[in-house]
């Protein structure tokens, strides 16, 4: 769900699916599901180069390196869950992916929201504050996500620990005024080859659909007269990009 509140109203709700993957289990998932491959093309694929920094190494190693660079002490034995959309028929676009990092005692340590834009740029937001089993962070956006949103806005992240239900909220604020609300709500299903077949039928070429709908709604906002912010304006506010 995505709803713009101000200065022009626009909203939509779509059904999607995302994978919830323990990054230590990628090879096993690839071995046990003929439609899913790890670092190899398939109908559904996961490539390490698609996540975190675009350099050599596994996604888990890169995520832990980033987390440590921010002063969070995590060991190599920790567990990292990633909620994301996979490559589908070789194409990927993820507006946002979520990492949840747990220590050796299965206690939540931190989370990372990995936000992407249509320029293939990516920015991670580290979230350490946990309140009532929910990760919370309000922080300056400083990232060019939409041509219809100022770089001076704040992201407000609020999401629960992943369990049988997914509950993620990301809102945007201009000062104390909420201008955009978005959420992802979902129910967990087992990762099986039959499930992948069903997803192929129910949500064909989902990642292509996502990028098409982003441009479709951008056109609608432009036709409604919403102010446009060129990407070349205020480059000094586009900070800490990972790629």
- Could you read off the pLDDT of 143-182 as tens digits, one per residue? 999 988 888 899 999 999 888 899 999 999 999 999 999 9
Q: Read off the DSSP letter of residue 164.
A: S
Of 211, 184, 204, 243, the residue nearest 94 (C-alpha): 211
For the beta carbon of residue 127, count every other beta carbon within 10 angstroms.
21
pLDDT of residue 13: 95
Average pLDDT across the chain, whole number:
93
**Euclidean distance between CA atoms 206 and 209, whole angstroms:** 5
For the beta carbon of residue 80, count every other beta carbon within 10 angstroms.
22
Tens of pLDDT along 26-73? 999 999 999 999 999 999 999 999 998 877 899 999 999 999 999 999
pLDDT of residue 163: 85
**Residue 235 contacts by C-beta under 8 Å, 6 or more apart in sequence?**
none
**34 in a structural domain:** yes
User: Rounded mean pLDDT of 198-208?
Assistant: 95
User: Rounded mean pLDDT of 101-106?
Assistant: 92
Which helix (H) or strand (E) covers residue 29, if one does?
helix 26-32
**242 in a structural domain:** no
pLDDT band at 6 (very low <50, low <70, confident <90, very high): confident
pLDDT band at 242 (very low <50, low <70, confident <90, very high): confident
Q: CB of 161 within 8 A of CB of 20? A: no
What 3-state class would DSSP assign to 50? helix
pLDDT of residue 84: 97
Rg, C-alpha atoms of the chain: 18
Phi/psi of residue 38, nearest 5 degrees: -105, 120
Number of domains in the chain: 1
Q: Is the peptide bond before 60 cis (omega within 30 degrees of 0)?
A: no
**210 in a structural domain:** yes
Q: Please, where are the H alpha helices in 54-96?
A: 59-69
pTM of the predicted model, to two decimals? 0.94
pLDDT of residue 61: 95
Range of the domain at 178: 2-225
């Amino acid at each position: 769900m995505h709803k713009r509140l101000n200065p022009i109203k626009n909203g939509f709700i779509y059904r999607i699916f995302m994978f919830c993957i323990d990054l230590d289990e990628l090879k096993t998932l690839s071995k046990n599901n003929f439609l899913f491959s790890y670092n190899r093309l398939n109908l559904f694929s996961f490539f390490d180069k698609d996540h975190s920094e675009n350099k050599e190494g596994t996604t888990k190693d890169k995520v832990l390196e980033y987390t440590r660079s921010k002063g969070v002490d995590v060991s190599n034995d920790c567990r990292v869950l990633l909620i994301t959309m996979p490559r589908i028929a070789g194409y990927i676009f993820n507006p946002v992916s979520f990492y949840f990092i747990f220590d050796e005692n299965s206690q939540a340590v931190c989370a990372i929201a990995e936000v992407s834009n249509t320029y293939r740029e990516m920015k991670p937001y580290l979230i350490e504050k946990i309140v009532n089993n929910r990760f919370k962070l309000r922080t300056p956006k400083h990232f060019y996500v939409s041509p219809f949103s100022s770089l001076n806005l704040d992201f407000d992240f609020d999401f629960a620990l992943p369990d049988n239900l997914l509950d993620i909220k990301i809102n945007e604020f201009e000062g104390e005024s909420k201008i955009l609300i978005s959420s992802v709500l979902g129910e967990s299903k087992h990762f099986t080859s039959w499930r992948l077949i069903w997803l192929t039928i129910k949500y064909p070429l989902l990642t292509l659909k996502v990028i098409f709908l982003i441009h479709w709604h951008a056109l609608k906002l432009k036709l409604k007269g919403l102010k446009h912010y060129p990407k070349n304006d205020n480059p000094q506010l586009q900070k800490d990009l990972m790629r």
